[in-house]
């Protein structure tokens, strides 16, 4: 009898694990939406009817997607309403919720900066003393001021922060900047950087084992996609006597593939190049005698 019950319990557990899902919160619309959905797609996760939905599921990965305002994502993940989420570090650190960052995603890059009217003299953080600072990031700005022992007045406003000095609402702003053109068009200059930010994948701190396993699977895919983006596949031809020198320039994954060409005395070399050193390497390869260099994007890199 007991033996039988155990069997049932065991098979129930397997059923639960088989049906386990992971729930991810992503921005409903806005600057992170497209890159977030694109990342899932590049991970081979197909989503049903993404547009204008609050929730959707994948048919080929046990993933449920909740579309939310980015400001709400840290709270939902802390509470476990969603297991994981994609959010900007700016929002994550401002909300100061208890979650864990599992991966930097490399998109949504911006910085939270302090900017003052262009005509205003600025001689370091002490200049901010007693100033009225308009921002949507009161927590981060207050922490920054405290760290620099400066007392100032923080005015929290939810949007169009950049116009605050122009309409006399504040002396200074602390806002997100990417190209800098918004500040420029509003007669402001960037004087301090409070935070460099990008989108990150966060997780709830108390995930169960089935969700941790699914997160591992997802992370493996995300890392393969990221790695592929940083690398290029390269093919080149070279006379055989130059091959040794050329190979020495190529790191490759293990060692480069060398294939003989139809023309005798020549070979084709295939390898993988890191984006960082890319142009330097190409020049060195040409100088070493490489010809007909082809560079091809890589879709996934599974290591």
Would you tell me which residues interact with Zn ion (CB under 5 A)?
70-71
Point out which residues pair with 104 in neighbouring strands. 200
For helices 33-42 and 209-230, the axis angle rounded to 10 degrees is 100
Are 232 and 282 a contacting pair, CB within 8 Å? no
Nearer to ligand PRT, 136 or 211 (CB): 136
301-to-24, 36, 45, 268 alpha-carbon distances in Å: 24, 19, 17, 22
Segment lying near ligand PRT (by CB under 6 A), choices 16-24, 54-62, 84-92, 252-260: 84-92
C-beta closer to ligand PRT: residue 70 or 83: 70
Q: Is 69 in the site for ligand PRT (CB under 6 A)?
A: yes
Query: Which range in 13-21, 42-50, 85-93, 95-103 contacts ligand PRT by CB under 6 A?
Result: 85-93
**Is 88 near ligand PRT (CB under 6 A)?**
yes
Rounded distance, CA 90 to CA 140, Å? 8
Question: Pick from 70, 78, 103, 192: which binds ligand PRT (CB under 6 A)?
Answer: 70
Which one of 49-57, 123-131, 177-185, 253-261 is the stretch in contact with ligand PRT (CB under 6 A)?
177-185
- Site membership for ligand PRT, residue 178 (CB under 6 A): yes
Distances (CA, A) of 233 to 190, 290, 299: 39, 15, 10
Write phi, then psi, for 85 (nearest 5 degrees).
-160, 160
Secondary structure of residue 169 in the 3-state scheme:
coil
**90 contacts which partner out of Zn ion, ligand PRT, none, CB within 5 to 8 A by kind?**
ligand PRT
Of 170, 124, 166, 132, the residue nearest 149 (C-alpha): 124
Q: What is the rounded CA–CA span in Å between residue 106 and residue 39?
A: 11
Exposed (0-12), middle (13-18) or buried (19+): which is 284, by Cβ within 10 Å?
Answer: middle
Which of 9, 16, 30, 104 lies at the binding interface for ligand PRT (CB under 6 A)?
30
By the rule CB under 6 A, 45 interacts with ligand PRT: no
Q: Pick from ligand PRT, Zn ion, none: which does 88 bind, CB < 5 to 8 A by kind?
A: ligand PRT
Task: Tell me the site size for ligand PRT, rule CB under 6 A.
Answer: 21
Nearer to ligand PRT, 179 or 264 (CB): 179
Site string for ligand PRT, 98-137 (x = CB under 6 A): ----------x-x---------------------------
258 beta partners: 269
Q: Which of 179, 254, 302, 303 binds ligand PRT (CB under 6 A)?
A: 179
Measured from the CB atom, is 140 or 228 closer to ligand PRT? 140
Show the beta-strand stretches assigned E in the chain.
22-27, 55-57, 63-68, 84-88, 99-104, 110-117, 132-135, 153-156, 172-177, 188-197, 199-204, 231-239, 257-260, 266-274, 291-297
Give the footprint of ligand PRT on this chain (CB under 6 A). Answer: 27, 30-32, 69-71, 88, 90-91, 108, 110, 175-182, 197
């Amino acid at each position: 009898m007991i033996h039988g019950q155990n069997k049932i319990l065991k098979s129930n557990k397997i059923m639960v694990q088989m049906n386990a899902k992971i729930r991810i919160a992503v921005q409903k619309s806005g600057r992170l939406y497209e890159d977030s959905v694109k990342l899932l797609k590049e991970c081979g996760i197909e989503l049903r009817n993404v547009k204008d939905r609050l929730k959707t599921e994948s048919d080929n990965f046990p993933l449920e997607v909740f579309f939310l305002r980015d400001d709400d994502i840290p709270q939902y993940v802390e509470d476990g309403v969603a297991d994981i989420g994609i959010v900007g570090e700016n929002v994550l650190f401002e909300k100061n919720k208890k979650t864990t960052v599992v991966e930097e995603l490399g998109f949504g890059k911006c910085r939270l900066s302090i900017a003052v009217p262009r005509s205003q003299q600025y001689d370091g953080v002490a200049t901010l003393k007693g100033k009225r600072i308009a921002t949507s990031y009161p927590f981060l700005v207050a922490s920054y001021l405290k760290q620099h022992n400066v007392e100032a007045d923080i005015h929290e406003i939810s949007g169009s922060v950049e116009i605050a000095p122009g309409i006399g609402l504040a002396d200074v702003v602390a806002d997100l900047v990417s190209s800098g053109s918004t500040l420029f068009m509003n007669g402001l200059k960037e004087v301090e950087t409070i935070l460099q930010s990008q989108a990150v994948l966060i997780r709830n701190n108390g995930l169960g084992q089935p969700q941790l396993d699914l997160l591992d699977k997802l992370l493996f895919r995300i890392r393969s996609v990221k790695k592929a983006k940083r690398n290029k596949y390269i093919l080149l031809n070279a006379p055989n006597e130059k091959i040794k020198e050329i190979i020495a320039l190529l790191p490759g994954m293990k060692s480069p593939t060398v294939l003989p060409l139809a023309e005798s005395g020549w070979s084709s070399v295939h390898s993988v190049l890191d984006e960082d050193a890319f142009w330097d390497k190409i020049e060195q390869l040409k100088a070493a005698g490489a010809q007909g260099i082809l560079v091809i994007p890589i879709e996934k890199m599974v290591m």
